[in-house]
Amino acid sequence: DVKVTQSSRYLVKRTGEKVFLECVQDMDHENMFWYRQDPGLGLRLIYFSYDVKMKEKGDIPEGYSVSREKKERFSLILESASTNQTSMYLCASSRPKEQFFGPGTRLTVL
């Protein structure tokens, strides 16, 4: 079974802090994604990566950056966290067809 793990289930940070969210998948997938999920808005794509050291902006990349140094790991970085980045963050990896999601990180920025 595909397993996608995220470093934290819950995280509380202060405004202005730098935040790292880590995602690891164990199925050698090339494609990895970061989404944020907010009530009534569904899943919105922040960044995605189709290969190591490759990244592309999604629909809402402002305020975020990513890093993919190894195939299995895709990190989301909030350079200076703000209260409007309080959200559920979901990582996913995929074969050409379906996406497999991690359990999510609920981030609260105070």
47 interacts with another protein by CB under 8 A? no
11 interacts with another protein by CB under 8 A? no
Scanning the structure block, which residue is given the tokens 């595909």? 2
Region of 17-25, 62-70, 73-81, 91-99 interacting with another protein (CB under 8 A): 91-99
Q: CA–CA separation, 44 vs 18, rounded Å?
A: 21
Strands (E) across 9-110 are located at 10-13, 19-25, 31-38, 42-49, 56-57, 64-70, 73-78, 87-94, 99-101, 105-109
Please identify which residue in 24, 32, 35, 75 interacts with another protein, judged by CB under 8 A.
35
Q: CA–CA separation, 74 vs 70, rounded Å?
A: 8
24 interacts with another protein by CB under 8 A? no
**Cβ 106 to another protein shortest distance, Å:** 10
Task: List interacting residues with another protein (CB under 8 A).
Answer: 35, 40-45, 50, 59, 90, 97-104
